Homo-oligomer: A and B are copies of this chain.
Amino acid sequence: VLAAFRELQAEGWIEAACNITRVSGTPPKDRLDRGRARPDRLGFELPTPPSPALDPALVSEPVPPGTLVFNTGQPDLRLLPIPLLARAYGRALRTRALLSYGDPKGEPRFRAALAGLLSGVRGLAAQADRLLVTGGSQMGLDLVARTLLRPGDRVAVENPGYAPAWVAFRAAGAVLVPVPVDEGGLCVDALAAELERGPLRAVYCTPQHQFPTTVTLEAARRQRLLELAEAGRFAVIEDDYDFEFPFDGSVMLPLAGMDTAGVVVYLGTLSKVLAPGLRLGFATGPAPFLDAVALHRRAADRQGGQVQERAVAELIEDGELQRHVRKMFRTYLARRDALAEALREHLDGVVDFRLPGGGMSLWVRVDPAVDLDAWTARALDRGVAFERACQFEFHGRPLQALRMGFASLQEDELREGVRRMKEAL
């Protein structure tokens, strides 16, 4: 009873003084109004123009169930070692320290395991204390942008390129400078010309398998890019999102491994080798820069999910992740070849492509006579979806090409998808 009275008093319904309790003379207007809240009402201003320029290109269109999607960002989740992962999660959950606050740079055993992996496979002498775990590569891009960029800074980006990175840079106020890409990757001559026009704060690039064209940045251009960065004191943000699947055996090591000038910021992800839903990525680079990034991570969300970081650390320590990657390598290689064969068989003369040296996608040029919009729409009606290249073009201009992911579909699904594409022509 006393509690009820206290609550009424606290909320202003009754007044109590000198042992007399009575109904309040000024009942709480807010309570009388309750239930009348209008959720679509906004009582304050949002910054206008909407800041930052958040690109709708990030929003992927939903497709009807049963559609075969040549998804370029997705590994085959059906092949994941789920029981191993679940056991590792269970052990991590039983480790109390992981449920508490921890290091904003990431769970130490995960960073150590990653460092070992990167030294062995990618030739990066990344020590654990120079690795920072991120919530997928998008957080890596965002944190690098927050740490590095000031409003008005010029950042060169590949065109065509990876739009979600542009969003992160624009969110930090950057002015983007598109630089063309050709068969040798980023056109470093064009980049040098942009440098003549004014200083750059950073260059964002995907040297291993360029997004979206899958080309590998030539050795001479790599060298020149690093020289330009050293001279111009700008950062090279190297996004190595699918290092793990170099099918043609010629592994080009990351720019970060050649960086003697302290200019390369290297971003990686486990979205392609494990699963995007785990949201695990990492960044490495010059130590003073990483320390600054860690402060920003602390401000942004304090730290990541240590439970899953430890769980995946165990998979790496036990060699299970490496085993999974080897298995996926063989699987995806066969799928790449199956897709290529199906395209040659069913769409010869309509499409043209070069087998990519690695990665999980084909870059497919389409006969100029084909109306891409109409083909895409008809294909969706027949249950097959693919990504048009125009969404990767900086100015949104039409590009007569497709990016076709082959990793998440089985060989028969790939063949069936191409058959449906042919029917939809």
Contacts and interface: CB of A to CB of B under 8 A. Distances in A.
Interface string A303-322: 11111100000000000000
- Pairs A-B, 6 closest by C-beta atoms: A3-B249, A41-B262, A30-B258, A99-B275, A139-B301, A43-B263
Interface stretch (A219-227, A337-345, A365-373): A219-227
10 contacts: A28-B223, A30-B223, A39-B127, A40-B262, A50-B295, A78-B96, A82-B94, A100-B276, A171-B299, A171-B300
A36 to B, nearest CB: 5
Interface string A89-101: 1100110101111
A100 B85 contact: no
Interface in A126-152: 127, 130, 134-136, 138-139, 142, 146-151
Interface stretch (A186-194, A286-294, A396-404): A286-294
Interface string A189-226: 00000000000011000000000000010111011001
Interface string A102-143: 100000000000000000000001010010001110110010
A389 to B, nearest CB: 20
Given A99-B278, A219-B12, A258-B33, A295 B135 contact: no
A297 B289 CA distance: 24
A404 B298 CA distance: 24
Given A3-B248, A30-B222, A34-B257, A292 B50 contact: yes
Nearest to A295: B54
A163 to B, nearest CB: 11
A336 to B, nearest CB: 17
A101 B30 CA distance: 41
Interface string A17-57: 00000000000111101111111111111110011101000
Contacts of A276: 99-101
Contacts of A93: 82, 85-86, 89
A86 B29 CA distance: 46
Q: Kindly name the residue among A6, A38, A73, A302 whose own CB sees the greatest number of chain B CB atoms within 10 A.
A: A302
Contacts of A277: 98-102, 305-307
A179 interface: no
B302 A138 contact: yes
A424 interface: no
A44 B235 contact: yes
Interface in A51-87: 51-52, 54, 58-60, 73-74, 77-78, 80, 82, 85-86
Given A41-B286, A54-B296, 12 more contacts: A3-B249, A37-B262, A39-B287, A40-B287, A43-B233, A44-B235, A54-B298, A82-B94, A86-B93, A99-B275, A138-B299, A171-B299
Interface in A354-393: none
Contacts of A300: 138-139, 142, 168, 171, 300
Interface residues of A, number: 119
Contacts of A44: 148, 201-202, 229, 233-235, 262-263
A412 interface: no
B142 A301 contact: yes
The residue among A3, A30, A233 with the most chain B CB atoms within 10 A of its own CB is A30
A410 to B, nearest CB: 14
A47 B148 contact: yes
A77 B99 contact: yes
Interface in A216-274: 216, 218-220, 222-223, 226, 229-230, 233-235, 248-253, 257-263
A258 B31 contact: yes
For A249, A253, A307, the residue with the greatest tally of chain B CB atoms inside 10 Å of its CB is A307
Contact of A86 (B59, B94, B288): B94
Nearest to A142: B300
B230 A43 contact: yes
Contact of A80 (B85, B99, B171): B99
A423 interface: no
